[in-house]
A and B are shown apart, each in its own frame.
Chain A
Amino acid sequence: MAKADILGESLWDAYSDKVTTLMNNPLHQGEIFEADAQARGHKLIVADFGAESCGDAVRLYWEIDSKTDTIVNSKFKSFGCGTAIASSDVMTELCIGKTVAQAVKITNIDVEMALRDDPDTPAVPPQKMHCSVMAYDVIKKAAGLYMGVDSESFEEEIIVCECARVSLKTLQEVIKLNDLTTIEQITDYTKAGGFCKSCIKPGGHEEREYYLVDILRDTRREMDEEKMKAAADASASGESKFEDMTLVQQIKAVDAIIDDSVRQFLVMDGGDMEVIDIKPTDEYIDIYIRYLGACNGCASSATGTLYAIESTLKEKLSSNIRVLPI
């Protein structure tokens, strides 16, 4: 929210002139009947998408010359708002003259672009972007009917945000590459979730298979796992810096050094020690230890012995280590 958002937009003023014109006078509104198409030696395909109960429904008609698989004529019927009617109209326009294989490549982005008055200004406000997605969906359905295949087979990748056509793979990559942590960042980087918002989380305009919140959480978890695995591998091969280790790895490393080079001398004098905690501060990595047995209360435990433990750990692990007996 800022100054420009205080009043809020006027929905209809955000429509392009083309949307307004086509809503008022759609050019390809109407029906093509089976008998007429047959008489012309063509095949008719009619596909529905959406339903009145969703608030949006479209019926697409394709008259196809089966010798060339070309869509020779196309019409639509629509139960919907102005942008739904205008999107459907432009969709039929884009289909006419194309082969079915070409038509199936038409996306909602193409439909929305075709509705723009100038290439840089969106034709519809973000929340209306889903109207053009319906155009894309009904084309796939019609093509599936004509080709006798499942319409899902035209989708080569998993599309998470239909409005901006952003795939699952792209989202995962962008999150990882840019170390994104919020949905807002994802929208800034990819535009996903910036339109009808259905893909952000469950409960939006449309039910989705994938939601940005889940993708973000799962990708972050994957990133953490990768990071930990890398740290574990590095630590196992002895290449890892103490500072970069996870806490558990640090404790293990400290214990290993103590077992190797310290404990035997303490045990000789009837004492022992344990590591209580490791805490990185701005200046040091503090290792809290507790003396056991004879060490407890021994005069040198605060001087010579402590110095010996600290310098061993410093030498073997990190010069930033400070040992604090408690």
Chain B
Amino acid sequence: MQVYLDNNATTMVDPLVVQEMMPFFSEIYGNPNSLHKFGTASHPAISKAIDQVYTALNASDEDDIIFTGCATESNNWVLQSIFTDYIVNGDKNHIITSEVEHPSILSTCKFLEEQGVKVTYLPVNDQGIVEAETLRGFITEKTALVSIMWASNETGMIFPIAEIGEICKEKGVLFHSDAVQAVGKIRVDLQKVHVDFLSMSAHKFHGPKGVGALYIKNSQALTPLLHGGEQMRGRRSGTLNVAYIVGMGKAIELATQDIEITGAKIREKRDRLEDALVELSDTFVVGDRWNRTPNTILISIRGVEGEGMLWDLNNGQIGASTGSACASEDLEANTVMLAIGADNELAHTGIRLSLSRFTTDEEIDYTINHFKEAVARLRAISSSFAKQQPTVGGEVQECELHH
């Protein structure tokens, strides 16, 4: 059996989505900007995809949802253009974000800091989320933007976006949310929360890689990131990626139409897996499960180093992650676990398991068995569980390496 439990990194494209995309490669391939019928033939499908995305998010007709290449592009667009519009060409100089954002936010903020922007990285509490009231004290009249993720890729913890949105509205500050891990996993209703900009990515909800979107409330001004052929009314140039836009539309429809029911089914499997794994001694899961996306577990297993655990799971045909997939090659401690104040030693023992609506009960059973076997094997090797104490003078007082 082969079990994919890394759905926060990316997901399988739903075969129904692939089916919807197929005609737009070799049959209806015209450029939607062309006047001839080859071009206009794709218009009904694109219009449908636009409707599907607006419906899924309950966006207003006055809002813009602009297709992009990925959420990294959407995040870069917001941050870099807020910099251009409100800092270079305005009197603001400050951006607020959190210390646990995705690298496409954090690295862009670091880049903007090099350009002279002041950036505040809000701390998280022991649940790994920013408390809304923490934000209030950091907003000044120089603040151009607040950018806070909707849900964490690493822990699945859901941030208090409604409260944060209200504070931003009250203070008159623009609010962006990276909702990559929320859209398609939990209900995102843009009539119920105040958000100016929202990033999403299709491949996180069983759509194809290479297409995402940026929601812009009330079609407000935001300098384009990509200049060119004036597609999407000049907001994002570049020939429309027709097949992928169609795929994203279908994927978001499938992911959101019965999201409460689907979410509950995933949650049931997730909880069963989690309950079984925490039976192991010296383990803990980050964050209360009622406030997590229904598919995610970040579990720490004392004495078992994360990459070693991934190795054993991989040998058992199980795909998991030590945290952010983007960071899984740089071997560093889990940044979220450090941020929530977990002991340093636990920051190297985090394993993230993320389910999808395609995860089966058989896969969960298989994973429970194999996971426990892997922990037993690695703990048998682990120095953390050794019984013979070191010779006097042979102990280690503290970490001699540095992070």
Contacts and interface: CB of A to CB of B under 8 A. Distances in A.
B399 A48 contact: no
Interface residues of B, number: 40
Given A45-B391, A46-B389, A53-B344, A82 B383 contact: no
A271 interface: no
A82 B398 CA distance: 23
B1 interface: no
Contact of A48 (B329, B333, B345, B383): B383
Contacts of A198: 402
Contacts of B330: 127
Interface stretch (B138-146, B251-259, B305-313): B305-313
Contacts of B386: 31, 59, 77
A42 B342 CA distance: 42
B388 A55 contact: no
A103 interface: no
A53 B345 contact: yes
A47 B388 CA distance: 11
A142 B314 CA distance: 34
Contacts of B402: 54, 198, 204-207
Contacts of A304: none
B311 A52 contact: no
A140 to B, nearest CB: 12
Interface in B334-382: 343-345, 347-349, 380-382
A89 B160 CA distance: 48
Contacts of B305: 55-56, 79-81, 84
Contacts of A127: 330-331
A60 to B, nearest CB: 9
Interface string A53-75: 11111110100000000000000
B388 A61 contact: yes
Contacts of A29: 380-381
Instruction: Give the residue among A49, A53, A58 with the most B Cβ atoms within 10 A.
Output: A53
A55 B396 contact: no
B399 A145 contact: no
A33 interface: yes
B400 interface: yes
Contact of A55 (B383, B387, B401): B401
B393 interface: yes
A79 B383 contact: yes
Contacts of A31: 386-388
Contact of B396 (A12, A57, A77, A84): A57
Contact of A205 (B303, B387, B393, B401): B401
A40 to B, nearest CB: 15
B274 to A, nearest CB: 23
Nearest to A44: B391
B388 A32 contact: yes
Interface in A10-45: 11-12, 23-24, 26, 29, 31-34, 44-45
B267 to A, nearest CB: 32
A145 B393 CA distance: 7
A51 interface: yes
A141 interface: yes
A192 B237 CA distance: 46
A32 B347 CA distance: 29
A78 B382 CA distance: 5
Contacts of A77: 381-383, 385-386
A122 interface: no
B345 A33 contact: no
Q: How large is the interface on A (under 10, 10 to 19, 20 to 34, 35 or more residues)?
A: 35 or more
B381 A85 contact: yes
Contacts of B344: 52-53
Nearest to B330: A127
B398 A34 contact: no
Nearest to A10: B329
A50 interface: yes
A8 interface: yes
Name the residue among B314, B345, B383 with the largest chain A CB count within 10 angstroms.
Answer: B383
Contact of B398 (A46, A51, A204): A51
A82 B401 contact: no
A50 B344 CA distance: 13
A17 B305 CA distance: 21
Contacts of B400: 49-51, 54, 206
Contact of B403 (A54, A57, A85): A54
B383 A47 contact: no
B390 interface: yes
A82 B331 contact: no
Nearest to B393: A145
B245 to A, nearest CB: 26
B291 interface: no
Contact of B390 (A26, A47, A80, A82): A47
Contact of B329 (A11, A49, A54, A206): A11
Contacts of A33: 387-388
B394 A45 contact: yes
Given A29-B381, A204-B402, A51 B345 contact: yes
B395 interface: yes
Contact of A12 (B303, B311, B390, B403): B311
A80 B303 CA distance: 9
A79 B380 CA distance: 10
B394 A47 contact: yes
- Give the residue among B314, B389, B393 with the most A Cβ atoms within 10 A: B393
B107 interface: no
A204 B330 CA distance: 11
B384 interface: yes
A44 to B, nearest CB: 7
A59 to B, nearest CB: 4
B2 interface: no
A23 B382 CA distance: 12
Nearest to B346: A52
10 contacts: A33-B388, A44-B388, A47-B394, A51-B399, A55-B347, A61-B388, A77-B383, A80-B308, A81-B308, A206-B400
Q: Which 6 A-B pairs have the closest CB atoms?
A: A52-B345, A53-B344, A54-B401, A77-B383, A81-B307, A55-B348
Interface of B: 303-305, 307-308, 311, 314-315, 329-331, 333, 343-345, 347-349, 380-391, 393-396, 398-403
Interface of A: 8, 11-12, 23-24, 26, 29, 31-34, 44-59, 61, 77-82, 84-85, 127, 141-142, 144-145, 198, 204-207
